[in-house]
């Protein structure tokens, strides 16, 4: 009788079980280590925001104290009141809302149409036009700042909401994003719609656009964030405080550093970022899912 026949079939299983348990334990340790690193990194990135909140309710004495205090001795809510006294904050808020809405709606419509055309249609010089549009992504915005100003001045739109919103009505990134979404959709959907008698516009509007909802949501959120935080172009084009968005209002408020202490500036910045911060926290999963979906496809 051979030695192999004397070994019970189940005698080697405990060794395999111990090996699996060891691998599971090492994997768990690596996961805990990754979680600890992520928590530390998150706290490091969150600290400036928490410090801003602390400064917004601190007095000038607490802000200038050495060593710095991590909890204000008294809560100075007057900082927020002074922001409304120094700036036409409500007017500037509505200007930011109007500019953001104009840009978001226009980009959803124009970028979706352009993305569908580049993804599905055939026309002369298609590759050349797509290359020209995508090349815009490599050109800094400061390069065409003066030509844009001259065009807006020629139209008589200086210091207007339309003049502020006009350069952001179309986006090369939005076109590329929507093109990727439409390319990922099966051709059978269009073929079935054509058999039902739909033309190209009906296919786009009734079939393809509703299916591109994740891309539309991602494009909308990205446009909202970029439009709300836009500073350079509104700073050039807007001159009256009533027609300035919040970003420019904060920049002008910072120019009065000799008469306004840091707590008021932090309070103004906190008020300006609150709407878009809440929107991003609620919808951030849609942004990540949409961009990841477009990248995978």
Q: Where are the beta strands (DSSP E) in the chain?
A: none
Judge if 127 and 228 occupy the same domain. yes
Distances (CA, A) of 139 to 107, 133, 135, 150: 19, 11, 7, 19
Task: Confirm whether pTM is higher than 0.85.
Answer: no
| pLDDT, position 19 | 57
Residue 213, pLDDT score: 86
Reading the block at residue 93, the tokens are 């808020």
Residues 120 and 262 both lie in one domain: yes
Residue with tokens 């601190």: 58
Using CA atoms, how far apart are residues 284 and 272, in angstroms rounded to an integer?
19
- Predicted pLDDT at 152: 93
Q: Name the CA radius of gyration of the chain, rounded.
A: 28
Query: Two tokens at 218?
Result: 């991602």
- 144 shares its domain with 185: yes
Does residue 224 contact residue 102 with C-beta atoms inside 8 Å?
no
Q: Give how many domains the chain has, as a whole number.
A: 2
Q: Is 141 in the same domain as 253?
A: yes
**Helix (H/G/I), strand (E/B), else coil: 122:** coil
pLDDT at 289: 63
Q: What angle do CA 62, 70, 254 make, to 5 degrees?
A: 55
**First-last CA distance in the chain:** 61
- Phi/psi at 121 (5° precision): -95, 160
DSSP string over 248-285: HHHHHHHTTTTTS-HHHHHHHHHHHHHHHHHHHHHHHH
Residue 249 CB-half CA count within 13 A: 28
* Domain presence at residue 77: no
Spatial separation of the C-alpha atoms in residues 290 and 284, rounded to whole Å: 10
Q: What is the pLDDT of residue 23?
A: 58
Residue 190 and residue 100 share a domain: yes
Task: Walk along the chain (297 residues) in steps of 10 and give the mean pLDDT of each run.
Answer: 49 54 58 87 90 87 81 86 86 93 95 92 88 86 89 92 93 90 87 87 89 88 90 91 89 70 86 84 70 54
Q: Token pair for residue 151?
A: 């065009």
Six-digit token pair at 210? 């509703």
Residue 212 domain flag: yes
237 and 148 share a domain?
yes
Nearest CA to 103 out of 224, 275, 221 is that of: 224
Asked if residue 116 and residue 183 are part of one domain, the reply reads yes
Residue 222 belongs to domain spanning: 82-296
């Amino acid at each position: 009788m051979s030695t192999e026949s004397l070994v019970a079939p189940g005698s080697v299983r405990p060794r395999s079980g111990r090996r699996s348990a060891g691998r599971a334990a090492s994997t768990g340790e690596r996961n805990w280590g990754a979680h600890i690193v992520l928590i530390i990194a998150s706290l490091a990135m969150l600290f400036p925001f928490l410090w801003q909140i602390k400064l917004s309710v601190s007095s000038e004495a607490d802000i200038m104290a050495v060593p710095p205090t991590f909890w204000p001795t008294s809560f100075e809510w007057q900082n927020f009141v002074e922001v409304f006294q120094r700036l036409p904050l409500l007017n500037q808020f509505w200007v930011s809302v109007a500019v953001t809405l104009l840009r978001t709606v226009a980009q959803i419509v124009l970028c979706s149409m352009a993305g569908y055309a580049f993804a599905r249609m055939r026309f002369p010089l298609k590759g050349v036009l797509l290359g020209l549009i995508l090349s815009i992504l490599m050109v800094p915005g400061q390069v065409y700042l003066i030509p844009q100003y001259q065009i807006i001045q020629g139209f008589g739109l200086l210091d207007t909401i339309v003049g502020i919103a006009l350069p952001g009505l179309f986006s090369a990134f939005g076109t590329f994003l929507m093109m990727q979404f439409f390319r990922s959709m099966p051709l059978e959907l269009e073929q079935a719609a054509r058999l039902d008698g739909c033309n190209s516009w009906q296919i786009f509007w009734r079939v393809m656009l509703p299916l591109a909802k994740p891309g539309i949501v991602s494009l909308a959120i990205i446009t909202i964030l970029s439009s709300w935080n836009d500073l350079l172009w509104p700073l050039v084009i807007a001159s009256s405080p009533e027609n300035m968005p919040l970003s420019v209002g904060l920049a002008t408020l910072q120019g009065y550093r000799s008469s306004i202490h840091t707590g008021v500036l932090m309070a103004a910045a906190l008020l300006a970022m609150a709407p878009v911060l809440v929107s991003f926290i609620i919808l951030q999963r849609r942004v990540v899912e949409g961009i990841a979906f477009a990248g995978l496809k």
